[in-house]
Amino acid sequence: MKFNKLIPELSVKDFYKSKEFYLEILGFELAYERLEDQFAFISLNGAQMMIEQCNGHWETSELEYPYGRGINFQI
């Protein structure tokens, strides 16, 4: 698998709901996943990203809904 130079990883509140949204609604393809970690590597037309269930490892502050404020991705 070829990896892009920059691959965003998003922490999500509900891994299974998010995975369904990206795959079924937006049309991303599942490239790799670790269900035991609730982690998925997904792609769409050459764009790559990762989603992972919030787990407390990479959080720099308390997460508040809605997540992702102040970030915008164009795919």
Per-residue pLDDT reduced to its tens digit, 19-69? 999 999 999 999 999 999 999 999 999 999 999 998 877 777 777 777 766
Distance CA 67, CA 63 (A): 7
Q: Are the beta carbons of 40 and 7 closer than 8 angstroms?
A: no
Q: Where are the domains of the chain?
A: 9-53
3-class secondary-structure state, position 71: coil
- Put simply, whether the predicted model's pTM sits higher than 0.85 gets the answer no
Domain 9-53 has CATH 3.20.20.60: no
